[in-house]
Amino acid sequence: MERYLQQLPGFVENIRSIREIIISNILLMGQIPAPTFHETRRAERLVERLSEFPVDECSLDAFGNPVAVIRGQSQAQPPIFLIAHLDTFSEVEMDQHYEVTDKTISGIGVSDNSAAVGVLVSLPEILKRLELQFESDIVLVAPVLSLGRGNLRGIRRLLNNWAGPIRSGICLESIELGRLNYYSYGMIRSEIACSIVVENHERRRHKPNAILVINEVINAILGLRLPQKPRTQIVIGRISGGFDHGKIAYDATIGFEIRSDSDEMVKSIYADIRDIVDGVNKAFDVAVKLNRISNLNASRLRYNHPLIKCASKILNRLDVEVFSEPSESAVSIFLRHKIPAITLGITQGNNFHQDDAMIEIEPIYKGIAQIPALLMAIDNGICDE
pLDDT digits (tens, 9 = 90+) for 298-324: 999 999 999 999 999 999 999 999 999
* pLDDT, average across residues 219-229: 95
Q: Per-residue pLDDT for 54 more than 90?
A: no
Question: Is the Cβ–Cβ distance between 44 and 58 less than 8 Å?
Answer: no
91 or 8, which is more confident? 8
3-state secondary structure of 348: coil
pLDDT (0 to 100) of residue 384: 84
Least confident of 40-49, 51-60, 191-200, 309-318: 191-200
pLDDT (0 to 100) of residue 201: 52
pLDDT (0 to 100) of residue 207: 76
Query: Per mean pLDDT, which of 88-97, 278-287, 333-342 is the most reliable?
Result: 333-342
* R_g over Cα of the chain: 23
Predicted confidence band of residue 353 (pLDDT cuts 50, 70, 90)? confident
- Write the DSSP symbol of residue 256: E
pLDDT (0 to 100) of residue 318: 97
For the range 274-281, what are the long-range contacts, defined as Cβ-Cβ under 8 Å and sequence gap of 24 or more?
276/217, 276/220, 276/221, 277/192, 277/217, 279/220, 280/213, 280/216, 280/217, 280/220
* pLDDT, average across residues 244-269: 94
The torsion defined by the Cα of 258, 260, 262 and 264, in degrees rounded to 10, comes to -20
What count of other Cβ atoms lies within 10 Å of the Cβ of residue 194?
29
pLDDT (0 to 100) of residue 1: 74
pLDDT (0 to 100) of residue 150: 95
pLDDT (0 to 100) of residue 354: 83
pLDDT (0 to 100) of residue 203: 56
Q: Which amino acid is at 151?
A: N
pLDDT (0 to 100) of residue 344: 98
- Give me the chain's average pLDDT, please: 94
Predicted confidence band of residue 355 (pLDDT cuts 50, 70, 90)? confident
- Could you tell me how many residues make up the chain? 385
Share of the chain above pLDDT 70, in %: 97
b/e burial code for range 331-367 (CB count within 10 A of at least 16 → b) = bbbbbbbebbbbbbbbbbbeeeeeeebbbbbebbbbb
Predicted confidence band of residue 351 (pLDDT cuts 50, 70, 90)? confident
What count of other Cβ atoms lies within 10 Å of the Cβ of residue 322?
14
Least confident of 24-33, 62-71, 87-96: 87-96
Q: Tell whether the torsion through CA atoms of 258, 264, 269 and 271 is positive or negative.
A: positive
Q: Per-residue pLDDT for 22 more than 90?
A: yes
| Domains within the chain, CATH numbers bracketed | 2-184+298-379 (3.40.630.10), 186-296 (3.30.70.360)
pLDDT digits (tens, 9 = 90+) for 168-210: 999 999 999 999 999 999 999 999 999 987 665 555 556 789 9
Q: Per-residue pLDDT for 65 more than 60?
A: yes
b/e burial code for range 23-49 (CB count within 10 A of at least 16 → b) = bbbbbbbbbbbbbbeebeebbebbbeb
Which are the contacts of 380, defined by CB distance < 8 A and separation ≥ 6? none
Q: In the sheet where 186-195 sits, what is the strand order?
A: 232-241, 251-260, 186-195, 287-296
CA distance 371 to 1: 14
CA distance 196 to 74: 63
Q: What is the pTM (predicted TM-score) of this model?
A: 0.92
Angle of helix 8-16 versus helix 115-129 axis, rounded to 10: 110
Question: Is the Cβ–Cβ distance between 331 and 155 less than 8 Å?
Answer: no
CA angle 297, 292, 228 (to 5 degrees): 50
